[in-house]
Amino acid sequence: MPAWSLRRWLFIVLLGLALFGLLAWTMVDRALGALPPFSAVRDAMTRRSPVLSAPLRWLRPAPDPLDLAGLATWRPAAGVPGEGVHHAVSSLEGLRAAMDAARGGDTIELAAGDYPLDEALRSRVDGWERAPIRLRGQPGARLLLRQGVALDLQNAWWLVEDLRIEGRCAASAPCEAGVRVGGQADHVLLQRLQFQGLGVAVRVAGRDPHWPDHGAVLDSLFVLDAPTSGAVAGQALHLQGGSHWRFSGNRVFGVGKPLGDGAAYAVLAKGGGEGLLVERNLIVCSPEPMPGADAQLGIGLGGAGTPTRWLRDPDQRFEHQHARVVDNVVSNCSDAAIDLYRSRDILLQQNTLLASSGIVLRGAGSEAVLRRNLTSGAWYPQGGTQVSGGYNLRWVPDGRSLPDALKQARALPAPPGASQPAGADTRWLLP
pLDDT of residue 71: 80
pTM: 0.86
Amino acid letter, 294: D
| Interatomic CA distance for residues 274 and 343, integer angstroms | 9
| Interatomic CA distance for residues 161 and 77, integer angstroms | 10
| CB burial of residue 308 (10 Å; 0-12, 13-18, 19+) | exposed
| Residue numbers in the chain where pLDDT is lower than 50 | 1, 51, 58, 230-231
pLDDT of residue 63: 64
| Per-residue model confidence as pLDDT tens digits over 231-290 | 456 799 999 999 999 999 999 998 876 555 567 899 999 999 999 999 999 999 988 766
pLDDT of residue 33: 56
pLDDT of residue 169: 84
Phi then psi for residue 100, to 5 deg, are -70, -35
Q: What is the bridge-based pairing of β-strands 374-375 and 352-354?
A: parallel
pLDDT of residue 331: 94
- The beta-strand segments (E) located in 302-385 are 320-326, 329-331, 338-341, 343-349, 352-354, 358-362, 367-371, 374-375, 378-381
pLDDT of residue 143: 97
| Interatomic CA distance for residues 2 and 396, integer angstroms | 51
pLDDT of residue 1: 45
| Per-residue model confidence as pLDDT tens digits over 39-93 | 666 655 555 555 455 555 545 555 678 888 778 766 666 666 667 899 999 999 9
pLDDT of residue 108: 96
pLDDT of residue 258: 59
For residues 320 and 274, the answer to whether their CB atoms sit within 8 Å is: yes
pLDDT of residue 306: 87
| Interatomic CA distance for residues 299 and 337, integer angstroms | 6
| Interatomic CA distance for residues 63 and 336, integer angstroms | 11
pLDDT of residue 371: 95
